[in-house]
Amino acid sequence: MDTPLKGRDYLSLTDFSPSEFQYLIDLAVELKKKQKAGEPHALHQGKTLAMIFQKASTRTRVSFEVAMYHLGGLGLFLSANDLQIGRGEPIQDTARILASYCEGILIRTFSHQEVLELAKYSDKPVINGLTDDEHPTQALADLMTVYEEFGGLKGKRLAFIGDGNNVAVSLMHACALAGMEIALACPENYRPGDKAIKEFEQMKQPGANLTIVDDPKAAAAGADVLYTDVWASMGQEQESRARLEALKGYQIDAALLRLAKPEAIVMHCLPAHRGEEITDEVMECARSRIFQEGENRMHAHKAILAAVL
């Protein structure tokens, strides 16, 4: 398939234009329809995606592997512990070898710099499957889910409640591209950094607006989407206790949901810590789109693969 994004890396949403981002959402919706209708969409027969994981994963790993299979190719799960990377082989050597065997490389790791380094030395597309700084494949599936719900994105208000982490940063990028309002409620020391704020300002399209407040109620008021993520991300386990203390007023519960619009939806990238950042009741309520969002990871990832490989 010839696509406008053929050969491109998918490292950060800062690399994409608003029309490229919308193109990926439309392609994801189309590929989802095709799969549900049982129509063939095996665009990548004989192609292989190397998938390096330095952190745990359920959704990203399984959805990319299944997406490659649906496209007629192969997703090759590579745990960093089993690769020579785990014994100190440089990323630039690993990049050139994997790129010589495979048509693309997916990586989930700690350092964002490591992903940029991999992409520099790979002559095949590299996909960022989460770093400490960003989670751009998640944000694509997320806005696809919002798009499915409301039939459009421009002017919609997303309230992100909790830790201003990697997921929050990619949502800021996505909302900037889509012309959405994003209101983050985070305790002072858990706000996204200046870099993400500056990127939002540079990327923002008409309708886009960013506010960062302390009070979850102020962010949730009139929102179309309430979104949250865990309070301690992978690699921050030793900070769990301090984070629990700092973030305990930042839970999405039924009372907070009542402040949003009546038709508002609830989202969470998962995995969730029920009873911490979100209640059991809200996760399971009629306004929750959390499991549709989880499913959409696969359709969105298929769109990325269809477009760049």
- Establish whether 22 is a catalytic residue: no
List, edge to edge, every strand of the sheet that includes 74-79.
74-79, 48-53, 104-108, 126-128
Q: Nearer to ligand CP by C-beta: 17 or 58?
A: 58
- Residue 54 interacts with ligand CP (CB under 6 A): yes or no: no
**Choice among 44, 59, 135, 289 that is catalytic:** 135
Smallest distance, Å, CB 65 to ligand NVA?
Answer: 16
Q: Can you read off the two tokens belonging to residue 207?
A: 């309708």
Residue 138 appears among annotated catalytic residues: yes
By CB under 6 A, tell whether 57 contacts ligand CP.
Answer: yes
CB 59, min distance to ligand NVA, A:
7
Question: For residue 142, what is the enclosing H or E element?
Answer: helix 136-150
Give the residue among 74, 111, 109, 115 at the shortest CA–CA distance from 92: 115
Which of ligand NVA, ligand CP, none has residue 58 at its interface (CB below 5 to 8 Å by kind)? ligand CP
Q: What is the DSSP letter of 195?
A: H
- Residue 59 sits in the site that holds ligand CP (CB under 6 A): yes
Q: Which helix (H) or strand (E) holds 268?
A: strand 265-268
- Token pair, residue 64, equals 């990319």
What is the C-alpha to C-alpha distance for residues 82 and 217, in angstroms, rounded to an integer?
46
Please state, in angstroms and rounded to a whole number, the distance separating the CA atoms of residues 237 and 56.
13
* Least distance from ligand CP to the Cβ atom of residue 290, Å: 10
Nearer to ligand NVA, 200 or 231 (CB): 231
Binds ligand CP by CB under 6 A, chosen from 213, 270, 272, 283: 270
In the complex, the smallest distance separating the C-beta of residue 215 from ligand CP, rounded to whole angstroms, is: 27
- Does 96 participate in catalysis according to the annotation? no
Q: How far apart are CA 144 and CA 151, in angstroms?
A: 10
Find the catalytic residue in 268, 269, 299, 301. 269
Q: Answer for the pair 5, 307: CB distance below 8 angstroms, yes or no.
A: yes
Give the single-character DSSP code of 155. Answer: T
Of 133, 138, 186, 301, which one is the catalytic site residue?
Answer: 138
Residues near ligand NVA, by CB under 6 A: 130, 165-167, 229-230, 233-234, 269
Whether residue 229 lies in the annotated active site = yes
Choice among 44, 157, 289, 297 that is catalytic: 297
Residues belonging to the active site: 108, 135, 138, 229, 269, 297
